[in-house]
Amino acid sequence: MTHRTQVAIIGAGPAGLMLGHLLHRAGIDSVILETRSEAYVVERVRAGVLEQGTVDLMRESGLGERLDREGLRHEGLSIAFAGSRHRIDLSGLTGGRAITIYGQHEVVKDLIAARTAAGRPVHFNVERVVVDELASERPRVRYVQDDASHEILSDFIAGCDGSHGTCRSSMPAAHTQTFEHEYPFGWLGILAEAAPASDELIYSCHSRGFALFSMRSPTITRLYLQCAPDEDLSQWSDDRIWSELRVRLGTEDGWVPADGPILQKSVTGMRSVVTEPMRYGRLFLAGDAAHIVPPTGAKGLNLAMADVRRLASALVSFYVAADDTALNEYSGMALRRTWRAQRFSSWMTSALHRVEHASGFEHRRQLAELEYLVGSRAAMTSFAENYVG
Ligand code: FAD
Ligand code: PHB
């Protein structure tokens, strides 16, 4: 069966869903294809920190209501090291900007509800997605759904299919370059039914390794421990996880995170990837399909949202004003922001993580770096500007 649309969107993560939503609001038709089931996409536990720009985009596009009701606005965060916690006043240092804690799966839920209300549902559980004719004015997507073959003819394809998707690898190798860096760390993340014992996030640099205290709601805590990239989760009983979190996050004033039943556990490796350019012919990449950042700077979801905001507005200029200037500028502008986020995320990763077999010198150097950060208004301002986006 052959379908026609203006923009074929591959992937129903935050990038693909937000792009479809913004295009729909501008009267541009799109079809969204997703290989996973709706339940999988909605339940996947991932990011939780929304920058001000992402919150503004949700509000401006009519998705602010639940976010404003349930999101937790944070005006600061703490960096812990050598037994003490140091608060960084994000809002005070950035003219009132803040971050909002609102789970990525909540963002995805809101976007799917908007898509469904618009009468343009997402095609879940599709298989064998192939994109081709990318250099022509009629790029094509082929896929299989319920054993039937389908074809979509569109004006543009948006590759929003994440780091393991098919779009990036469909760009001819001679036209692209991928820059990669693997970190020798992973994060063991848990979601726990426990009231957050601190109102704000705590990033801790400890001699046993990095740990992060975060949350999802007034009753759910989200915590991470630095581990090996291929850490065996079966070696981590709930008791071992809590005692390690207490050691790495606890401070001399006796503060430790409150514990409770663990609802979910996972291990994620850390890497940086950037593909340049983010476009080939009529295929445009957005979000994790084009770039991955280590989670330490909380930038991945926010970069994905910044990409699709830019891409949607460029497509509107193309359709409404027959102007392709913004489409031609998309890759260069998005890459500038991406490299800024890579710089900050990799700096934060190296400032806070323990490198195995590193000398005592290295840990002392880290402590000096962190002491400078929390002792200098200029350093804290630079940190806050980068963190809130
Ligand atoms: P994805 O969310 O990966 O969506 C891509 C979609 O495409 C998926 O649903 C996938 O199933 C689908 N797909 C794949 N291949 C195909 C295909 N061939 N055809 C059709 N569909 C396909 N970011 C932050 O900003 N803040 C944080 O606090 C943060 N914390 C994180 C914590 C963890 C543990 C992890 C793993 C990530 C974190 N991130 C964070 C990163 C953030 O989750 C990602 O950057 C974000 O999901 C990117 O969205 P996306 O839509 O580009 O890609
Ligand atoms: C999270 O809440 O999941 C989270 C917070 C901050 C990060 C990464 C993840 O840097």
Active-site residue set: 74, 203, 295, 299, 387
Distance CA 168, CA 176 (A): 9
- Average pLDDT score over the chain: 96
Buried b (16+ CB within 10 A) or exposed e, 151-186: ebebbbbbbbbbeebbbbebbeeeebeeeeeebebb
Report pLDDT for 267.
96
Distance CA 355, CA 294 (A): 15
> Which tokens in the block code for residue 317?
């200029």
Ligand 2 contact via 298 beta carbon (within 6 Å): yes
Report pLDDT for 359.
81
Report pLDDT for 305.
98
CB of 115 closer than 8 Å to CB of 32:
yes
Whole-number Å distance, alpha carbon 162 to ligand 1 midpoint, is 5
Distances (CA, A) of 364 to 24, 182, 210: 53, 24, 15
* Nearest partner of 229 among 164, 161, 294, judged by Cα: 294
Distance CA 21, CA 9 (A): 11
Whole-number Å distance, alpha carbon 45 to ligand 1 midpoint, is 10
Query: pLDDT tens digits for 54-98?
Result: 999 999 999 999 999 999 999 999 999 999 999 999 999 999 999
Distance CA 376, CA 369 (A): 11
Phi and psi, residue 74, nearest 5°: -115, 125
**266 Cα nearest atom in ligand 1:** 34
> Which tokens in the block code for residue 305?
């949202």
**Least distant ligand from the CA of 349:** 2
DSSP 52-92: HHHHHHHHHTT--HHHHHH-EEES-EEEEETTEEEEE-HHH
The residue whose CB lies within 8 Å of the most ligand 2 atoms, and thus the one to mutate among 221, 224, 292, is 224
Mean pLDDT of 242-267: 96
Query: pLDDT tens digits for 274-312?
Result: 999 999 999 999 999 999 999 999 999 999 999 999 999
**161 Cα nearest atom in ligand 1:** 7
**Least distant ligand from the CA of 345:** 2
Query: pLDDT tens digits for 329-367?
Result: 999 999 999 999 999 999 999 999 998 887 888 889 999
Distance CA 102, CA 48 (A): 5
Our CA angle for 120, 124, 152, nearest 5°, is: 65
Distances (CA, A) of 259 to 95, 189, 204, 220: 35, 14, 17, 10
- Which amino acid residue places its CA nearest to atom 20 of ligand 1? 34
SS3 158: strand
Query: pLDDT tens digits for 16-31?
Result: 999 999 999 999 999 9
- For strand 99-101 and strand 84-88, is the pairing parallel, antiparallel, or unpaired? unpaired
Please determine, for residue 224, whether its predicted confidence score (pLDDT) is greater than 90: yes
**Least distant ligand from the CA of 12:** 1
Phi and psi, residue 75, nearest 5°: -100, 0
Mean pLDDT of 128-154: 97
Please determine, for residue 147, whether its predicted confidence score (pLDDT) is greater than 90: yes
Report pLDDT for 356.
84
- To the nearest 5 percent, what fractions of the chain are helix, strand and coil? 40, 30, 30
Angle between helices 360-375 and 325-352 (to 10 degrees): 120
DSSP 173: G
Identity of residue 248: R
CB of 338 closer than 8 Å to CB of 290:
yes
- Which amino acid residue places its CA nearest to atom 7 of ligand 2? 298
Edge-to-edge strand ranges of the sheet holding 148-153: 2-4, 148-153, 140-145, 127-132
Residues 6+ apart with CB under 8 A from 60: none
**299 Cα nearest atom in ligand 1:** 25
Work out the pLDDT band at 259, boundaries 50, 70, 90: very high
Whole-number Å distance, alpha carbon 164 to ligand 1 midpoint, is 10
Report pLDDT for 121.
81
Query: pLDDT tens digits for 160-192?
Result: 999 999 999 999 999 999 999 999 999 999 999
Ligand 2 contact via 220 beta carbon (within 6 Å): no
Whole-number Å distance, alpha carbon 375 to ligand 1 midpoint, is 35
The predicted model scores a pTM of 0.96
Whole-number Å distance, alpha carbon 161 to ligand 1 midpoint, is 8
Rg (CA), the chain: 21
The residue whose CB lies within 8 Å of the most ligand 2 atoms, and thus the one to mutate among 198, 199, 204, 214, is 214
Please determine, for residue 120, whether its predicted confidence score (pLDDT) is greater than 90: no
Ligand 2 contact via 103 beta carbon (within 6 Å): no
Whole-number Å distance, alpha carbon 38 to ligand 1 midpoint, is 14
